[in-house]
């Protein structure tokens, strides 16, 4: 492999890295990236959501940028919802990112 090929491969690798990784920034500084804040086991705040996919008392699925967030638990309810934030309360058993 010659020097030109090595430099070309390095450039490609740098281009594929996320901006947050390239500049060593926390992901929450990138606009639109979902942020989940779990308070104890009874409430979760989701910022930068893109809407609900499904809703039941034991599973709430929330769309996010390139992901689906699944909140599992008991007696779950949507306590508050705005265009960018939502609050889920109840007995939260698991939070999964798909």
Q: What is the pLDDT of residue 22?
A: 59
| Residue 11 tokens, joined | 């450039």
Q: Are residues 93 and 49 in the same domain?
A: yes
Residue-number span of the structural domain to which 3 is assigned: 1-30
- The CATH code of the domain that includes 38 is 2.60.40.2000
Residues 92, 82 share a domain: yes
pTM over 0.85: no
pLDDT band at 4 (very low <50, low <70, confident <90, very high): low
* Helix (H) and strand (E) counts in the chain: 2, 6
Each residue's pLDDT tens digit, 31-49: 788 999 999 889 999 999 9
Between the CA of residue 78 and those of 49, 69, 74, what are the distances in Å? 13, 14, 12
Domain tally, the chain? 2
pLDDT, position 63: 96
Please give the torsion angle defined by the CA atoms of residues 75, 40, 62 and 22, in that order, rounded to the nearest 10 degrees: -170
């Amino acid at each position: 492999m010659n020097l030109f090929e090595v430099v070309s491969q390095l450039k490609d690798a740098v281009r594929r890295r996320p901006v947050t990784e390239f500049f060593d920034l926390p992901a929450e500084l990138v606009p639109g990236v979902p942020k989940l804040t779990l308070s104890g086991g009874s409430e979760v705040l989701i910022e930068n959501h893109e809407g609900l996919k499904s809703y039941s008392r034991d599973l709430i699925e929330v769309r996010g940028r390139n992901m689906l967030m699944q909140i599992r638990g008991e007696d779950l309810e949507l306590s508050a919802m705005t265009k960018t934030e939502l609050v889920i309360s109840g007995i939260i058993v698991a939070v999964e990112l798909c």
